[in-house]
Amino acid sequence: MQWWCAAQNAAWSWTWRAYPGVWLFMLVIAVAWVLRLRAAGTRPDRFREPRRWAFVPGWLLMWIVLDWPVGALGAGYLASVHMVQFLVLALIAPPLLLLGWPHRSAPAGEAARSSGVRFFTHPLTTLGVFTAVTIATHLPVTTDRLMPSQLGAFTIDTVWLGAGLLFWYPVLIPLHAWFGPPLRIACLFALMVLMTAPGAMITFSDLPIYATYELAPPIPGVTPLEDQRIAGIGMRLGGSMTCWIAISILFLRWARDEERLLRRELAPPG
Q: pLDDT tens track of the chain, all 270 residues? A: 799 999 998 999 999 999 999 999 999 999 999 998 888 765 544 445 667 789 999 999 999 999 999 999 999 999 999 999 999 999 999 999 999 998 765 444 444 456 677 788 899 999 999 999 999 999 999 999 999 999 999 999 999 999 999 999 999 987 888 899 999 999 999 999 999 889 999 999 999 999 999 999 999 899 999 999 999 999 999 999 999 999 999 999 999 988 888 777 777 775
User: Quick one: pLDDT at residue 37?
Assistant: 85
Closest listed residue to residue 246, CA positions, set 133, 120, 126, 96:
96
Q: Classify residue 10 as left (phi > 0), alpha (psi -120 to 50) or beta.
A: beta
**How many angstroms separate the CA atoms of 151 and 8, rounded?**
14
Q: What pLDDT score was predicted for residue 104? A: 61
In angstroms, what CA-CA distances link 25 with 29, 198, 223, 236? Answer: 7, 29, 33, 29
Please tell me whether the overall predicted TM-score, pTM, comes out greater than 0.85 for this model: yes
Whether 10 is in a domain gets the answer no
pLDDT at 49: 62
Residue 34: inside a domain: yes
For residue 182, the enclosing domain spans 20-266
Is there a domain that residue 122 lies in? yes
8: in domain: no
Tally of domains within the chain = 1
CA angle, corner 172, sides to 166 and 175, nearest 5? 80
Number of helices followed by number of strands (H, E) in the chain: 13, 0
Tell me if 95 is assigned to some domain: yes
pLDDT value of position 117: 75
**Angle of CA points 110, 112, 116, to nearest 5°:** 150
d(CA 168, CA 187): 10
DSSP for 228-261 reads: HHHHHHHHHHHHHHHHHHHHHHHHHHHHHHHHHH
> CA 236, CA 229: separation in Å to the nearest integer?
11
**Residue 11 covered by a domain:** no
Does residue 97 belong to any structural domain of this protein?
yes
Is 14 among the domain residues? Answer: no
CA torsion 182-188-192-194 (nearest 10°) is: 100
Distance (Å, rounded) from C-alpha 166 to C-alpha 173? 11
